[in-house]
Structure 1
Amino acid sequence: MKVGVPKEIKNNESRVGMTPAGVLELTKKGHTVFVQTTAGEGSGFKDEDYEMAGAAILPSMEEVYAAGEMIVKVKEPIPEEYPLIREDQVVFTYFHFASDQKLTKAMIESKSVCIAYETVQNASGMLPLLTPMSEVAGRMAIQQGARYLEKPVKGKGILLGGVPGVAPGKVLVLGAGTVGIQAAKMAAGLGAHVTILDVNMDRLRYVNDIMPSHVVTEFSNEYNIRRHIKTHDLIVGGVLIAGAKAPKLITRDMLKEMQAGTVLVDVAVDQGGCIETTRPTTHQDPIYIIEDVVHYCVANMPGAVPHTSTVALTNVTLPYVLKLVDMGWEKACEKDVALRKGLNIIKGKIVYLPIAEAFGWEEAIS
């Protein structure tokens, strides 16, 4: 099979869909890999590295899309890429369709086969291709949140870990999934007082077992959220419903109950955000302020640490890429239940119900 790896063109996105190690695994099996020039530079991989692994380097995004029967990316296609995606072409990447109607319509019109990393789901319910980026984003949420608590960037002027004689900062984490646990771990490591909320008691028991005593768990409901937002300095939104829009746990009116300079980091922004006032931002312009509350809502947080993120992501995507190129998408998805759940749109038809539900298109589900 011919596989194309284009350079990511989303704002400040330096990850790449395949490393030279992955290229070597494909080429030694007789597959052809086309990599756009400089596609890997942001992650620390040179064109020469890809050439040594057997890739053909092409000068433009247009040529890579034209050459590839399957496209392997990191982020969802943006409007400049829509016309390049053709009928029957397989696109394997993060899509997050439920939060982007324009993208959804474009991929339907392209009649391509869209397999979304974020909905590949194994028998235990885990999302193996989302997990590593959730781990990165959860840890970064505290790193970035701590920065924006500083007074020069309109935060409260709080040092999360405190110092002798001064109480540490307080972190509220919404969701005890991968993002939430990684965020709690980082915040606890800095010495902050952490409260983590979830509706799943099994997850809360797990957190209670593995975390130190200054990480406390509570059941998530509106009453508890409203109570905690008044006193916490950094609030991390890490809720996820696979492939669907995130629920709005913090509404606009709640901002008035927060102290000026409170920082909100909405890691769920890719799925529409779990905060009503969330809108996607970029690493170039990461924050905005509403009601004196700092919002950090960067839609590709792991893109700021591209080497770590690329290696972590491709470690888990490569086995699925190999199945797709060796067997073709139909047979691969027939044999692998987890990969089958990654099918979102097939040749103009939505086949993943939460996408249709997000836009009220249930009648269009195939």
Structure 2
Amino acid sequence: MNAQKPILSVKNVVKHFDISGGFLDQVRFKNGRFGLEKITVKAVNDVSFSIQKGETLSVVGESGCGKSTLARVILGLYPPNSGEIYYGGKRIDHLSHEKMLPFRKKMQMIFQDPYASLNPRKTVQQTLEEPLRFHHPELSDAKINGKIELVMEQVGVDHAWIRRYPHEFSGGQRQRISIARGLILDPEFIVADEPVSALDVSIQAQILNLLMKAGRERDLTYLFITHDLSVVRHISTRVAVMYLGTVCELARAEDLFATPLHPYTKALLSAIPIVGEKKAKHIKLKGEVPTPVHLPTGCVFHARCVYADDRCTAEVPGLVTLNNGTCVACHAVEENRIPA
């Protein structure tokens, strides 16, 4: 890692959702009296990390661990309950819609479902020209059409498709159009939220190669959200592993796959099938996954961890940086209680 200022910094970000409903939904009869009870989903809890320009940071974890919520908080689609987000050294989490507009051009998102993220009533031409006309009203029609043609060529979209609608394309073709829309404003930073999970395996490779090629040609920085560990190994500079809204391990991709440290990371990586392996060496976790509504005390993973002790049930572990740069939030690792 270089010592330059990170392009993105996330500091102690928390995002909770109140799902209590209306007044009558909150009424509870407890201990002989009526009262109001709020129900809160604790989606993201005290998450911190930074991303250097040009790298790809992948965020992995089970469904419901807060990956997509974190991505939307970073882009300003959800306001954080607390914490700070900096882009290029400037704090952006508290900005109004108008003051956030200059950053919208620099930060773009590619969504998981290319059909849901494209307006079914707009043609490819309308989809790609809309952000250009909004952010660059000074551009002439000729310049807009030239830029659209260039981006379509870069992502492998046939220019003859420009008058077609989303329903006329396959899933892979729609995702290419979504990527073209993400690139049309020449951003610096892209959040890719499960961009290949809805596609066939053969198409996944094409889209991943397209994203990597665009990253090299445009010097892009990626935050890549996924649960597919084979994809992570292929594209990542560093990897953050999330569990129930917290980052439990953050390491360089080669270090994470060679020597995982956190018990949850070890279990996650053990589930990757290996060609030629006669007997699976899966680590089977005990217990049930807690809900983000009722988080456990102490370490959120302690109820499923074979190395948990009294400290783990009472004290929340913080991210500790080791000599090789890996950050891990685990009392057992800190106390050397996990065998190599």
Tell me the TM-score normalized by structure 1: 0.25
The structure where helix makes up a greater share of residues is: 1
